């Protein structure tokens, strides 16, 4: 994906958290003819998009919302912010299955104050693949001592529009909006940009891969620990995974696409895309690789350690590595691979590395909303060892989804009984639903007229 990011002003501190919920069946958007889909948060609240500031609906931090963006217009939403908290809103847009896209098609996202001044600006497009794939951009109102704009309490607006209006149709794109809030840090917090860091590429983990069943969206991302993981991906499909990363740790990942099983000729570029997103879903960096039917690998560049001070860096990817917590890996395979080499599915191997020992987090003045988003240690207490190296997922050699892992945590806390059995059944439903969804995607890819 091609991205442009512009920030009017500087950044401030954050703590984020995700409530543990009992998972239900996976909610999927209707798959497109090429097999693409996006799993919206099943608990998302539907909100209308206003065509101006007057009718803008207020978004509250800690909730997830579902809305729609008209083809050529702008969508407005309202934020009520104080003078201490930094606010972030990620916007994931899903193109209509009937749209024929150009490489510049995507979304632009801005947060504006009451005078129409941009506090932040970001955009994300489908890129050269022109696939009908989910794209994510973010907006922010950031608090920083000495910054002039967008620092006062008051009403702000999230503004979303298509990045390429010349090719836009009247068909709306579905949106998932995820606003979060980050408390200020106590006095004495870091104010300088990141210092020197180890830029040597790590040795990728080896050994037999464990099963990792990727999810269809951010809220259904499969949790992976450092190690080697295998999955399958169909042309046109996007898979979501999440990796816990502590303060002071470096994350690295590669995605290996297996060779085509049948005969085929030509070259697809870009074919395989691997993107890293931070805990507020903002894209940090992405890497793409072409495909000629032989095995290929997309590798993220070597990244600096996660640190609060990274927000003072002049550019990405360092600037977006500002939080500890779950970082998302999003893998997409171009729909055009099917035209050259068959419908698949194709073997996918992820190699995930998290280097360094988790450190203490910054001392925030309060919790994030939702709470715990930035992981253990975000309140200034010692960091967690939850991301120690090793290919363990749920303890049984599988990755599992974030929802499934939350259910298992609840089981351990609540003891054995009827509630435990119910949670295990619900977790099983989630896994079955995901497998059925994957089978449906592959069936549609193989027989799109069925």
Say whether both 290 and 428 belong to one domain. Answer: yes
Say if residue 393's pLDDT is above 50: no
Query: CA 448, CA 450: separation in Å to the nearest integer?
Result: 6
Q: How many CB atoms lie within 10 A of CB 204?
A: 15
Say whether both 315 and 356 belong to one domain. Answer: yes
More confident residue, 11 or 442: 442
Query: Domain for residue 375, yes or no?
Result: no
Say if residue 416's pLDDT is above 50: no
Q: Coil, strand or helix: which one is 443? A: helix
Q: Which of 11-15, 125-129, 145-149, 400-404 has the lowest mean pLDDT?
A: 11-15
- Name all contacts of 422-426 with Cβ < 8 Å and 24+ positions apart: 423/22, 426/22, 426/23, 426/24
Reading the block at residue 63, the tokens are: 């909730």
Say whether both 25 and 96 belong to one domain. Answer: yes
Query: Domain for residue 197, yes or no?
Result: no
Is the separation of the CB atoms in 344 and 269 below 8 Å? no
Domain at 95, CATH number: 2.60.120.380
Say whether both 174 and 223 belong to one domain. Answer: no
Q: Which of 31-35, 61-65, 176-180 has the lowest mean pLDDT?
A: 31-35
Say whether both 229 and 329 belong to one domain. Answer: yes
pTM, 2 dp? 0.79
In degrees, rounded to 5, the angle at the alpha carbon of residue 131 between the alpha carbons of residues 125 and 136 is 35
Query: Domain for residue 205, yes or no?
Result: no
> 318 φ, ψ to 5°?
-60, -40
Give tens-digit pLDDT for 211-230.
999 999 999 999 999 999 99
Domain boundary among 182, 197, 231: 182
Say if residue 58's pLDDT is above 50: yes
Domain boundary among 142, 165, 182: 182
Residues 6+ apart with CB under 8 A from 263: none
What average pLDDT score do residues 425-429 get?
39
Query: CA 133, CA 335: separation in Å to the nearest integer?
Result: 10
Structural domain boundaries enclosing 153: 3-182
Say whether both 159 and 252 belong to one domain. Answer: no
Say whether both 408 and 283 belong to one domain. Answer: yes
Q: Coil, strand or helix: which one is 191? A: coil
Query: Domain for residue 423, yes or no?
Result: yes
Query: Domain for residue 301, yes or no?
Result: yes
pLDDT band at 425 (very low <50, low <70, confident <90, very high): very low
For residue 333, the surrounding DSSP H or E stretch is: strand 325-333
Q: How many folded domains does the chain comprise?
A: 2
Say if residue 125's pLDDT is above 50: yes
pLDDT band at 376 (very low <50, low <70, confident <90, very high): low
For residue 436, the surrounding DSSP H or E stretch is: helix 418-446
Say whether both 393 and 438 belong to one domain. Answer: yes
Say whether both 132 and 268 belong to one domain. Answer: no
**DSSP string over 32-79:** PTTS------TTPEE-PPBSSGGGPEEP-TT--EEEEE-SSSEEEEEE
Q: Indicate the DSSP class of residue 433.
A: H
Q: What is the mean pLDDT of the chain?
A: 79
pLDDT band at 310 (very low <50, low <70, confident <90, very high): very high
Query: CA 286, CA 331: separation in Å to the nearest integer?
Result: 10
Query: Domain for residue 188, yes or no?
Result: no
Say if residue 149's pLDDT is above 80: yes
In degrees, rounded to 5, the angle at the alpha carbon of residue 328 between the alpha carbons of residues 22 and 314 is 135
Query: Domain for residue 369, yes or no?
Result: no
Q: Please report the pLDDT score of residue 72 as a whole number.
A: 80
Say whether both 279 and 321 belong to one domain. Answer: yes
Say whether both 122 and 215 belong to one domain. Answer: no
Is the separation of the CB atoms in 236 and 400 below 8 Å? no
Q: How many CB atoms lie within 10 A of CB 186?
A: 12
Query: Domain for residue 298, yes or no?
Result: yes
Q: Please report the pLDDT score of residue 188 as a whole number.
A: 61
Say whether both 135 and 243 belong to one domain. Answer: no
């Amino acid at each position: 994906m091609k991205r442009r990011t512009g920030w009017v002003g500087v950044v401030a501190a954050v703590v984020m958290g995700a409530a543990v919920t009992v998972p239900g069946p996976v909610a999927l958007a209707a798959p497109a003819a090429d097999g693409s889909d996006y799993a919206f948060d099943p608990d998302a609240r539907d909100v209308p998009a206003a065509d101006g500031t007057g009718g803008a609906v207020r978004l509250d931090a800690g909730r997830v919302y579902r809305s729609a963006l008209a083809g050529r217009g702008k969508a407005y939403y309202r934020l009520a912010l104080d003078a201490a908290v930094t606010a972030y809103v990620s916007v994931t847009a899903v193109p209509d299955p009937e749209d024929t896209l150009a490489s510049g098609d995507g979304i632009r996202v801005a947060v504006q104050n009451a005078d129409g001044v941009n506090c932040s600006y970001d955009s994300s497009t489908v890129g050269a693949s022109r696939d009908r794939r989910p794209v994510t951009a973010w907006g922010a109102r950031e608090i920083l001592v000495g910054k002039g704009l967008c620092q006062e309490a008051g009403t702000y607006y999230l503004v979303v529009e298509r990045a390429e209006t010349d090719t836009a149709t009247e068909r709306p794109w579905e949106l998932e909006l995820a606003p979060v809030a980050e408390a200020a840090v106590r006095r004495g917090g870091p104010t300088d940009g990141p210092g020197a860091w180890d830029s040597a590429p790590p040795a990728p983990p080896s050994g037999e891969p464990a099963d990792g069943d990727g999810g269809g969206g951010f809220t259904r991302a499969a949790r992976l620990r450092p190690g080697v993981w295998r999955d399958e991906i169909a042309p046109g499909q996007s898979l979501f995974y999440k990796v816990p990363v502590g303060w002071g740790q470096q994350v690295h990942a590669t995605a290996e696409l297996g060779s085509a099983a049948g005969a085929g000729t030509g070259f697809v570029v870009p074919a395989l895309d691997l993107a890293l997103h931070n805990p507020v879903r903002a894209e940090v960096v992405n890497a793409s690789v072409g495909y000629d039917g032989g095995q290929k690998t997309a590798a993220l560049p070597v990244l600096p350690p996660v640190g609060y001070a990274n927000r003072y860096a002049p550019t990405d990817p360092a600037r977006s590595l500002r939080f500890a917590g779950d970082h998302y890996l999003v893998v997409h395979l171009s729909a055009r691979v099917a035209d050259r080499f068959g419908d698949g599915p194709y073997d996918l191997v992820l190699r995930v590395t998290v280097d360094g020992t988790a450190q203490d987090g910054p001392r925030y003045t309060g919790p994030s909303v939702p709470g715990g988003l930035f992981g253990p240690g975000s309140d200034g207490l010692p960091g967690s060892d939850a991301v120690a190296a090793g290919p363990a997922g749920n303890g049984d050699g599988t990755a599992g989804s974030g929802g499934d892992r939350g259910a298992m945590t609840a089981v351990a806390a609540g003891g054995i009984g009827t509630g435990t059995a119910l949670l295990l059944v619900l977790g099983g439903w989630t896994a079955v639903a995901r497998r059925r969804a994957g089978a449906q995607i592959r069936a549609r890819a193989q027989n799109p007229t069925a």
